[in-house]
Structure 1
Amino acid sequence: MNKIILGRYIPGASFVHRLDPRSKLILSFFFIVVIFFANNVQSYLLLGVFTLFCVYLSKISLAFFIKGVRPLIWLILFTVVLQIFFTRGGQVYWQFGPFSVTHFGLVNGGFVFCRFVLIIFMSTLLTLTTAPLEIASALEALMLPLKKFKVPVYEISLMISIALRFVPTLMDETEKIMNAQRSRGVNFGEGSLIKQLKAVVPLLIPLFVGAFNRAEDLATAMEARGYRGGEGRTKYRVHFWKRRDTLSCVLFGLLTLLLLFLRNW
């Protein structure tokens, strides 16, 4: 099975699943902003415990969240290495030309790693517990005030929902094409960089062709069903803000207060 978790939804009846998608979307963005206020080990430890608590409330295995980190691990490590070698300050442990390893560099590298992992965990929690159509509906509801400024709210939410819906599909199709190419003797991870890039070409062409064909079929299906935009359309699923959504906002507010307290500890 493909390792890409983004866009996959796991049905469930947990506390997180039953939250209003608008509250989950708002709190997810709020968490991403708040995480940048952390500046020491205590504050990152608090955020880590809180994130694991949210994972526990979702009743989803931690393995799914670890799978969400794996595809981005090289990008995370690359960013961490840049922080370690180019951040100056504190005791110098090693230096060679413009590169150096200092105490502040190691600390910042560790903080950047934690920040990436926590953001991926919270984003994965959002997508695993919220159906793509619910995310699009929440985005549409939150962006409604922008209609006064002639922003195409319905079209934007539709594009986002389609993108989230077809990310797992495209990843699964990529895996099938790669397996088919491997059966014909193609090695994607061997040889020089030029050979590896050449091996990707037979993968991209059928993938793009399949994506365009699927997009055309989707457009035909929408036209056959009389889709003409969001104006005047009713909602099959109507979301209501409940007590658990207010409780979640209170918990995130308490998290922010504790985080601000730990910043100066």
Structure 2
Amino acid sequence: MRDVTLGQYYPADSPLHRLDPRVKLIGTLLFIILAFVAQTFIGLALIAAFMLSMAFISKVPLKALFKGLKTIYILLAFTFLMNLFFSNSKSDHVLLKWGFIVISREGLIRAAFMAVRLILLVTGASLMTLTTSPIALTDGMERLMSPLAKIGFPAHETAMMMSIALRFIPTLMEEADRIMKAQAARGAGFSGGGLIKKAKAVIPIIIPLFVSAIRRAEELAMAMTARCYHGGEGRTRLNVLAFKRRDLYAGLILLAFTLIITADNIFIKELLPFLARP
């Protein structure tokens, strides 16, 4: 349960930590879009290299970045097997056929392609939260949505709600881990048995976790009330967001990287189709 990295913050002094949160939010959204639209293994390799280079610049340990993959291993396995067994059933390169299940070379390539794509999506989103503090994340979301405030959209409240929800993910995972250890000390079993048995063992955790979430939400509401929080109206900031030269450079790098992936989709897929995803 403690392996969830989405929503956690890793404090460090790095160029990526010092970037404007708006640049990181837009960059993460662009990264996810590029991971979805990449059509070749070269494109995925470039995206992976870009993500690893950003992780190196951010000084976030790779162990902390990839730790979150432990929580989605079932989804990774399911995605891999579905694409492996049910892709290109009419392929000329069949490796194994058993009833309606067909394993082809194209299916194997596609399964690997989709698994790598999913890994990139999770690690890319995790890197953004690991390098952005909760306050900066809230301010960045609010500033990006501020044009909608002119038509009555509650930009500040929405940003605050999204930030709190994101930061509650690791908190709830830690609480679930604490409850599981408490129940295991009383004789409950969570490690033995198959997948169905493990799923049934998790059911008794749901109610105490739900109660704990309500209690934490109430404590947070009381703390915000005690600090005279009344929304974004009239709120001032100690550190006002402002784009700097490094943010401009980061934007130019993102633009250049987007053009590279777009060129890869167009030219590599057309000129060198054997390198493209089937």
Distance 1:164 1:204 in 2: 19
Indicate the percent of aligned positions where both proteins have the same amino acid: 41
Equivalent residue for 1:140, pick from 142, 149, 152: 142
Matching of residues 37-186 of structure 1 within 5 Å: 37-88=37-88, 89-186=91-188
Letter aligned with residue 16 of structure 1: L
TM-score for both structures, normalised by structure 2: 0.89
Contact 1:90 1:104 in 2 (8 A): no
Q: 1:199 to 1:42 in 2, by over 3 A?
A: closer
Residue of structure 1 in register with 2:207 after alignment: 205
Distance apart, 1:95 and its partner CA? 2.4
Contact 1:22 1:138 in 2 (8 A): yes
Residue of structure 2 in register with 1:10 after alignment: 10
For 1:16, what is the secondary structure of its paired residue?
A: helix
Distance apart, 1:192 and its partner CA? 5.8
Greater mean alpha carbon deviation, residues 15-24 or residues 94-103 = 94-103
Letter aligned with residue 225 of structure 1: R
Structure 1, unaligned runs of 5 or more:
none
Distance apart, 1:157 and its partner CA? 0.9
Contact 1:69 1:120 in 2 (8 A): yes
Distance apart, 1:168 and its partner CA? 1.9
For 2:16, what is the secondary structure of its paired residue?
A: coil
Equivalent residue for 1:248, pick from 247, 250, 255: 250
For 1:143, what is the secondary structure of its paired residue?
A: helix
For 2:102, what is the secondary structure of its paired residue?
A: strand
Cα deviation code 1:52-102 (max 9, x no counterpart): 111110111110111021111210221121112121145222223332122
Contact 1:132 1:164 in 2 (8 A): no
Equivalent residue for 1:218, pick from 210, 220, 228: 220
TM-score for both structures, normalised by structure 1: 0.93
Letter aligned with residue 215 of structure 1: A
Distance 1:64 1:90 in 2: 42
Aligned length, in residue pairs: 265
Distance 2:247 2:212 in 1: 40
Distance apart, 1:190 and its partner CA? 2.3
Distance 1:181 1:84 in 2: 38
